[in-house]
């Protein structure tokens, strides 16, 4: 298990050092937090791409790439993640731990300097980003927004959540919209970025075989960009479903239909009912032994995949399956029946025990993956649930079968979305 130490750096940045000796690499992840707002999301998703095009010290993408390769193929990546109604912008650096490199030392410091350089010292001209980089990255970003449709399962999932949360911030697509993108220019994007950098709460996570005091010293010295105040991030709204179920059908020229069911659980990460909900989701559709896999795939041969998963910060659950368009009624009926079964208390001892074992296994395996170690800490911070693996296992072990049935009754179907093949059967 990794050992976590937290610090606050002079500029107000939170530092989390996850010390563990099992990895050959060090992962450094700089995470900015921002409220998920329709009017800001496009700029938030775009500027990290512009930053990676060039900084004061590495004015082209090519120079930056060359330098990272020179540092034994260190990898710099930026990512935008939606956690509830909060947008996280992460810049991560993965590097070889120089303990494995004969004759090398100080690699972490050099990589953190590049990370800080890219994030805080962009190539700018007269209070604006370099115009050429902005126009090129706008073109690339337009492709990202339009490209959602290329992965049909991801598209159907996103569309279901958009329909379901149309009136809530959560319904915003994390990459934004083409109309907002068109309004972004080198000046206004730079102005937004400067405010974002100064105001957004920021954490640095470092995971690997490192010395916490040394990391603290390095980070304090390197990440010294000016910060002012802290932007407010409203709590995520967790609603219960009280109205009628909505049915949305969209047609496309596809070979396989995609069925997505969106549910409101009313339970978020950190709530007392979270562990029972986790067990509930596992019994329903988290594993190959779960009700959905057994009944939709193994018994009825209707699908290759059928699963459920939680959006734990927003209190949602989604079910997803790829089916023949003409089998919509049959598949929906079988899926609904599985959901009703659990609420009616039909959970066998074996299903319960297998799910508990499976989740326990997942928690333990997270310790073996640097990205997951960091992600767990981020989730824990957001929810105020500061638990290590043993703490999570204890939470899981306390769940009783009655608890699962109790939360099953809280889980309500909100929206049924179907991406249907053209000319397919009746819905």
Partner 1 sequence: MKGVQENSLLQEKIIWQRVEPGLEVFVLPKQGYNKKYVTYSANFGSIDSHFIVEGEGGELVVPDGVAHFLEHKLFEEEGGNVFERFARLGASSNAFTNFNNTSYLFSCTDHFTECLEILLDFVQSPYFTKESVEKEKGIIEQEIRMYEDNPQWRVFFNLLTALYREHPVKKDIAGTVESIRQIDEHVLYKCYRTFYHPSNMAVFVVGDVEPERVFTQVSENIVRRGYSRLGEIRRIYPAEPKMPARDCVVQELVVSQPILNLGFKEEEVGFDGERLFRREAATGLVLDCVLGSSSRLYNELYEDGLIDDEFEAGHVAEKDYGHTLLGGETKDPDRLYQRLMEGIRQAQAEGISAEIFAHHRRKLMGEFLKSFNSLEFIANNFPAYHFKGINFFNYLETVHSLTLEEVNKRLRTHFTDSNHARSIIQPKKEK
Nearest approach in angstroms of CB 269 to partner 1 is: 22
Closer residue to partner 1 in complex, CB, 34/53:
53
Q: Which stretch binds partner 1 (CB under 8 A): 22-30, 84-92, 157-165, 408-416?
A: 22-30
For residue 8, the surrounding DSSP H or E stretch is strand 3-8
Lateral strand order in the sheet of 202-208: 3-8, 14-19, 202-208, 25-35, 86-96, 75-83
24 sits near partner 1 (criterion: CB under 8 A): yes
Rounded to whole angstroms, the Cα distance separating 2 from 18 reads 6
Closer residue to partner 1 in complex, CB, 188/256:
256
357 sits near partner 1 (criterion: CB under 8 A): yes
324 sits near partner 1 (criterion: CB under 8 A): yes
150 sits near partner 1 (criterion: CB under 8 A): yes
Nearest approach in angstroms of CB 174 to partner 1 is: 17
Lateral strand order in the sheet of 412-421: 246-252, 412-421, 257-264, 316-323, 303-311
The length of the chain in residues reads: 427
What residues from 262 to 321 belong to the interface with partner 1 (CB under 8 A)? 287-289, 293, 297-298, 301-305
Closer residue to partner 1 in complex, CB, 315/322:
322
Closer residue to partner 1 in complex, CB, 14/389:
389
Rounded to whole angstroms, the Cα distance separating 71 from 98 reads 10
By CB under 8 A, name the one of 3, 8, 21, 400 that touches partner 1. 21
Distance of CA 114 to the CA centre of its chain: 24
Q: Which stretch binds partner 1 (CB under 8 A): 226-234, 341-349, 355-363, 394-402?
A: 355-363
Rounded to whole angstroms, the Cα distance separating 9 from 91 reads 18
| Sole residue written with tokens 């569309």 | 159
Cross-strand bridge partners of residue 204: 15, 30
23 sits near partner 1 (criterion: CB under 8 A): yes
Q: Which stretch binds partner 1 (CB under 8 A): 90-98, 164-172, 186-194, 228-236?
A: 90-98
Closer residue to partner 1 in complex, CB, 232/350:
350
φ, ψ dihedrals at 412, nearest 5°: -120, 135
228 sits near partner 1 (criterion: CB under 8 A): no
8 sits near partner 1 (criterion: CB under 8 A): no
**Close Cβ partners of 99 (under 8 Å, ≥ 6 residues apart):** 209
The tokens of 215 are what? Answer: 């990391």
Rounded to whole angstroms, the Cα distance separating 95 from 74 reads 5
- What is residue 235's DSSP assignment? P
**Residues within the interface to partner 1 (CB under 8 A):** 20-25, 60-62, 65-66, 69-74, 94-96, 100-102, 136, 139-140, 143, 146-152, 252-256, 287-289, 293, 297-298, 301-305, 322-324, 350, 353-354, 356-358, 360-361, 364-365, 367-368, 370
């Amino acid at each position: 298990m990794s050992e976590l130490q937290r610090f606050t750096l002079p500029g107000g940045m939170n530092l989390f050092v996850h010390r563990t000796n099992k990895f050959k690499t060090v992962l450094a992840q700089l995470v900015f937090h921002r409220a998920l707002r329709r009017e800001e999301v496009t700029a938030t998703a775009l500027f990290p791409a512009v930053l990676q095009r060039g900084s004061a010290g590495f004015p082209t993408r090519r120079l930056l790439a060359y330098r990272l390769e020179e540092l034994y193929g260190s990898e710099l990546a930026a990512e935008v993640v939606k956690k509830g109604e909060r947008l996280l912008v992460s810049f991560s650096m993965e590097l070889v731990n120089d303990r494995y490199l004969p004759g090398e030392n100080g690699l972490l410091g050099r990589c953190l300097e590049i990370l800080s350089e890219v994030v805080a010292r962009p190539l700018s001209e007269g209070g604006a980003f370099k115009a050429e980089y902005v126009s090129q990255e706008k073109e690339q970003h337009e492709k990202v927004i339009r490209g959602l449709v290329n992965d049909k399962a991801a598209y159907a999932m996103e569309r279901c959540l958009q329909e379901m949360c149309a009136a809530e911030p959560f319904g915003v697509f994390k990459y934004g919209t083409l109309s907002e993108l068109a309004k972004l220019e080198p000046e206004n994007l730079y102005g937004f970025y400067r405010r974002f950098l100064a105001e957004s709460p920021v954490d640095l996570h470092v995971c690997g075989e490192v010395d916490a005091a040394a990391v603290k010293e390095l980070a304090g010295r390197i990440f010294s960009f000016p910060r002012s105040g802290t932007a407010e991030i409203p709590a995520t709204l967790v609603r219960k479903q009280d109205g009628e179920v909505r049915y949305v059908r969209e047609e496309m020229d596809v070979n396989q239909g995609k069925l997505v069911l969106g549910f409101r659980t009313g339970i978020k990460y950190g709530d007392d009912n979270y562990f029972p909900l986790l067990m509930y989701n596992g019994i329903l559709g988290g594993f190959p032994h779960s009700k959905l896999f057994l009944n939709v795939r193994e018994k009825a041969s209707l699908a290759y995949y059928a699963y459920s998963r939680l959006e734990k910060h927003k209190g949602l659950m989604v079910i997803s399956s790829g089916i023949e368009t003409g089998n919509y009624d049959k598949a929906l009926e079988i899926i609904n029946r599985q959901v009703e079964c659990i609420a009616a208390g039909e959970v066998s001892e074996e299903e319960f025990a297998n799910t508990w074992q499976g989740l326990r296994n997942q928690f333990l395996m997270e310790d073996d993956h640097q990205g997951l170690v960091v992600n767990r800490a981020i989730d824990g911070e957001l929810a105020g649930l500061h638990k290590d693996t043993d703490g999570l296992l204890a939470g899981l072990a306390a769940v009783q079968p009655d608890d699962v049935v109790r939360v099953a009754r809280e889980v309500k179907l909100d929206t049924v979305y179907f991406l249907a093949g053209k000319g397919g059967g009746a819905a």
